[in-house]
């Protein structure tokens, strides 16, 4: 009886041991190149919450965040080289450029370091990429628009930062959606750079020349500015797709209370940083079957559930979700084909 109990507890200990013994001494660094907007701040916060707990639980040995203030490639490249010298086992990275950091990333890989990029990804094949399915998001925007306006009409498109993969993907998704729902026509597109100020300015300049607009398809962080531009020009308010920012959802709530305004909201959750962390941990854990390109779903809110989420978003910030180790294992499984 006694031996079974001892053996049993030993077995439990062993089982528990195998779950996280392999990475408990590993050090993971986070290289981030910008902290100046609400999305990045939320991203850093999510990362900190999740990794602090992971360190306290003994899942990893250390997790440190390094942010360079500017968006410059050379600064971040130098930072990565420092992280290699400091002996980190993995680097989670939100990169300033998809290809200009490949040299530094290759050096890290050659030094046996696991590199996981997300949001701002790197194209170097040895690195892992956690990518949100932006194309699906663009497609879904038009799907939703078709629900609100089955009769179709003119759409205005707000583009993101030119030259980024994110802008290209969302745009491609929207183009696919419009091709499918031919009752819609994109009459113009302006650059909003995912920023309310830039979006408002761009929409204000183009609005006077536009015919009646039934809907605006956006990329996130530009919906509130768009709404303000329509209001300032005294034009009727179209259906504007939102991007999970607190000010956007608050505006939506205000309009909904006024006259039952309907729209849809979607964006990449800043907490995807924590998913990248868990992916790094899984690779360090010895998993060899992790695909280098991981597609994760975007975070969306509908007419029914956005008001429940609103109180949890700090004022001026963006909706997020923190990912768990189980989520990462689930994501990896879903991406193995």
Partner 1 sequence: MMVLRALLARPWIWSFIGALLVWLAAISFTGGYGAGGMITAALSLAVFMVIVGIGQMFVITLGPGNVDLSLPANIGLASAVAMKVMGGSDAMILVGLVAALTSGMAVGMANYLLIRALRIPPIIATLSSSFIVHSIDIAYGRGLQIKPPPAFADFTNIQFLGIPILAICGVVFAFLAGIALQRMIYGRSVLAIGQNMRAAWLAGIPVERIRFLTYTLSGALGGINGALLAGYFRGASVDIGNEYLLSSIAVVVIGGTSVAGGKANVPGIWGAALFLVLLLTMLNTFGVSAGIRLLLTGLIIVGVITAAGGQKALR
Task: For residue 120, give the nearest of 143, 101, 94 by alpha carbon.
Answer: 94
Of 38-46, 54-62, 91-99, 107-115, the segment contacting partner 1 by CB under 8 A is: 38-46
Does residue 233 bind partner 1 (CB under 8 A)? yes
**Under rule CB under 8 A, residue 165 binds partner 1:** no
Nearer to partner 1, 60 or 202 (CB): 202
Q: In whole angstroms, how close is the CB of 316 to partner 1 at the nearest point?
A: 3
> Among the candidate windows 49-57, 175-183, 222-230, 304-312, which touches partner 1 by CB under 8 A?
222-230
Residue with tokens 């209001």: 231
How far is Cα 205 from Cα 233, in angstroms, rounded to an integer? 10
Q: Hey, is 77 helix, strand or coil? A: helix
Q: Which of 60, 105, 50 is nearest to 79 (CA)?
A: 105
Smaller CB separation from partner 1, 189 or 324: 189
Token pair, residue 170, equals: 């969302």
CA distance 149 to 107: 52
Contacts of 102 by beta carbon, 8 Å cutoff, 6+ apart: 122, 123, 124
| Least distance (Å) between residue 231 CB and partner 1 | 8
- Which phi and psi angles does 174 have, rounded to 5°? -65, -40
The residue from 112, 150, 208, 260 that contacts partner 1 (CB under 8 A) is 208
Question: Is 247 a binder of partner 1 (CB under 8 A)?
Answer: yes
Total Cβ atoms within 10 A of residue 300: 19
Smallest separation, CB 37 to partner 1 (Å): 5
Binding of residue 40 to partner 1 (CB under 8 A): yes
Task: Tell me how far CA of residue 217 lies from CA of 182, 233, 277, 300, in angstroms.
Answer: 15, 19, 31, 14
By CB under 8 A, tell whether 188 contacts partner 1: yes
In this structure, the number of other CB atoms found within 10 A of the CB of residue 145 comes to 28
Q: How many other C-beta atoms can be found within 10 angstroms of the C-beta atom of residue 107? A: 16
Binding pattern for the stretch 284-323 against partner 1, x by CB under 8 A and - elsewhere: ------------------------------xxxx------
CA-derived radius of gyration, the chain:
22
Category of 235 on φ-ψ map: left (φ > 0), alpha (ψ -120 to 50) or beta: beta
Check binding of 217 to partner 1 (CB under 8 A). Answer: no
Per CB under 8 A, 84 contacts partner 1: no
Binding mask 248-277 for partner 1 (x = CB under 8 A): ------------------------------
User: 267, 210, 232: which is closest to 38 by C-alpha?
Assistant: 267
Binding of residue 228 to partner 1 (CB under 8 A): yes
- Contact pick of 195, 261, 291, 297 for partner 1 (by CB under 8 A): 195
Shortest spacing between CB 8 and partner 1, in angstroms: 50
Residue 273 CB, nearest distance to partner 1 (Å)?
15
Residues forming contacts to partner 1 in the complex (CB under 8 A) are 35-41, 69, 159, 162-163, 188-191, 195-197, 200-202, 204-210, 224-225, 228, 232-233, 245-247, 314-317
């Amino acid at each position: 009886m006694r031996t079974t109990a001892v053996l049993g507890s030993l077995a439990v200990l062993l089982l528990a041991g195998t779950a996280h013994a392999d990475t408990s001494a590993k050090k993971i660094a986070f290289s981030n190149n910008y902290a100046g907007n609400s999305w990045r701040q939320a991203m850093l916060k999510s990362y900190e919450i999740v990794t602090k707990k992971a360190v306290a639980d003994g899942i990893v040995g250390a997790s440190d965040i390094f942010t360079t203030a500017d968006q410059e490639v050379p600064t971040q490249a130098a930072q990565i080289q420092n992280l290699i010298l400091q002996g980190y086992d993995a680097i989670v990275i939100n990169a300033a450029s998809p290809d200009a950091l490949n040299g530094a990333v290759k050096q890290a890989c050659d030094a046996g370091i696991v590199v996981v990029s997300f949001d701002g990804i790197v194209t170097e094949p040895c690195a892992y990429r956690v990518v949100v399915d932006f194309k699906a998001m663009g497609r879904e925007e038009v799907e939703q628009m078709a629900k609100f306006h089955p009769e179709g009409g003119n759409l205005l498109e707000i583009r993101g930062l030119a030259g980024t993969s994110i802008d290209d993907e969302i745009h491609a998704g929207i183009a696919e959606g419009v091709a499918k729902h031919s009752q819609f026509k994109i009459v113009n597109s302006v650059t909003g750079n995912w920023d309310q100020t830039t979006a408002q300015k761009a929409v204000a300049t183009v609005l006077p020349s536009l015919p009646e607009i039934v809907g605006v398809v956006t990329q996130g962080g530009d919906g509130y500015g768009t709404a303000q531009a329509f209001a300032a020009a005294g034009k009727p308010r179209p259906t504007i797709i939102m991007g999970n920012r607190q000010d956007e959802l608050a505006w939506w709530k205000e309009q909904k209370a006024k006259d039952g305004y309907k729209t849809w909201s979607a964006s990449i959750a800043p907490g995807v940083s924590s998913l990248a962390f868990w992916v790094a941990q899984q690779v360090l854990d010895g998993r060899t079957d992790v695909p280098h390109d991981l597609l994760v779903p975007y975070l969306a809110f509908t007419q029914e559930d956005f008001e429940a989420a609103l109180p949890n978003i700090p004022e001026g910030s963006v909706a997020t979700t923190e990912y768990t180790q189980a989520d990462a294992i689930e994501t990896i499984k879903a991406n193995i084909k």
